[in-house]
Amino acid sequence: MFINNLDQASKILLIDKPKDWTSFDVVKKIRGLVKKKYNIKKIKVGHSGTLDPLATGLLVVCVGNKTKDIRNLELLEKEYVGTIKLGCITDSFDSETPEKERKTYSHLSEKDIADVLCKFHGSIQQLPPIFSAIKVKGERLYKKARRGDKNIELKKRSITILDLKLESVNLPLVKFKVKCSKGTYIRSLAHDIGQKLNCGAYLYELRRVGVGQYKIKDAQSINDIFASL
């Protein structure tokens, strides 16, 4: 009976992650729902591609035997719709930390911004944010950053921007859509765009809308997921 329940519970779920939830919060919630519905004491649950707590959108969650697919799912390209705020930066490259180093941006035209976005197409070197889940000597970087550790050494990574389009400009906010490879930090992309524009920028809002063939339109909210388990 346990094996039958486990086989039944094994599936890939598409979740629309809400803001302020960590990806682990979603996994923990689904694990609890699955154990309750199928009367299972223990089951593996994991996700493909972490979303920051302040981001929303598509989180691909694998349950039971489907967790074997996570490694392949992680290789899929990701698609996001985001908004950056010009004229300042933050230590976290998003709105988790306070704005600082304010600069003027009023001289920038929509063409100026579009031209800079074009420079980020293709294979580029990217420095991850210090507020990230990357492990250095067994500890997550964001833990080091939050306690003010100044001795954080980061190495640039090769990532690929497959497509980057300007959606709208309502200064200081700039909306864009990006399709990118595994390992891309959209917060770093926002920061780097701000540097190229010589006014600074940080990631104001982010929503993941695609992971390979999986799309946000097919995702369910946490509140609705129990019915589909």
- Residue 1 pLDDT level (bands cut at 50, 70, 90): very low
Coil/strand/helix, residue 113? helix
Do 111 and 200 share a domain, yes or no? yes
Name the domain count of the chain: 2
What does the DSSP assignment read for 1-60?
A: -HHHHHHHH-EEEEEEEPTT--HHHHHHHHHHHHHHHHT-S---EEEES---TT-EEEEE
Burial of 182 (0-12, 13-18, 19+ CB in 10 A): middle
Q: Are residues 200 and 219 in the same domain?
A: no
Residue 203 scores a pLDDT above 50: yes
62 and 125 share one domain: no
Full residue range of the structural domain in which residue 141 is found: 78-211
Looking at the predicted structure, is the pLDDT value of residue 141 above 80? no
Q: Are residues 70 and 86 in the same domain?
A: no
Same domain, 35 and 144: no
Over residues 5-35, the pLDDT tens digits come to: 777 888 999 999 999 999 999 999 999 999 9
Same domain as 108, residue 91: yes
What pLDDT is recorded for position 2?
A: 40
Residue 147 has pLDDT above 90, yes or no: no
Q: How confident is the model at residue 3 (pLDDT cuts 50, 70, 90)?
A: very low
How high does pLDDT run on average in the chain? Answer: 91
How many percent of the chain have pLDDT more than 70?
88
Same domain membership, residue 129 and residue 22: no
Residues 88 and 70 in one domain: no
Q: What is the pLDDT of residue 54?
A: 95
DSSP type of residue 217: G
Q: Which of 86, 90, 82 is nearest to 112 (CA)?
A: 86
Q: Are residues 89 and 143 in the same domain?
A: yes
Question: With the CA atoms of 133, 12, 37 and 9 taken in that order, what torsion angle do they form, in degrees rounded to the nearest 10?
Answer: -120
Residue 167 to residue 144: CA distance in whole angstroms: 35
Q: How far apart are the first and last CA of the chain?
A: 17
Q: CATH number of the domain that 94 lies in? A: 3.30.2350.10
**Quick check: 39 pLDDT over 50?**
yes
Q: Are 68 and 101 part of one and the same domain?
A: no
Distance between CA atoms of 152 and 144, rounded to whole angstroms? 8
Average pLDDT over residues 34-48: 92
Considering the domain architecture, whether residues 123 and 189 belong to the same structural domain is answered as yes
224 is catalytic: no
Selecting among 16, 20, 25, 52, the annotated active-site residue is: 52
For the purposes of burial, counting CB atoms within 10 Å of the CB of 8, is it exposed (0-12), middle (13-18) or buried (19 or more)? middle
Alpha carbons 65 and 8: distance in angstroms, whole number: 10
Question: CB within 8 A of 90, min separation 6: which ones?
Answer: 96, 97, 98, 99, 100, 202
Q: Report which secondary-structure segment, H or E, holds 142.
A: helix 141-146
Identify whether residues 174 and 94 lie together within a single domain. Answer: yes
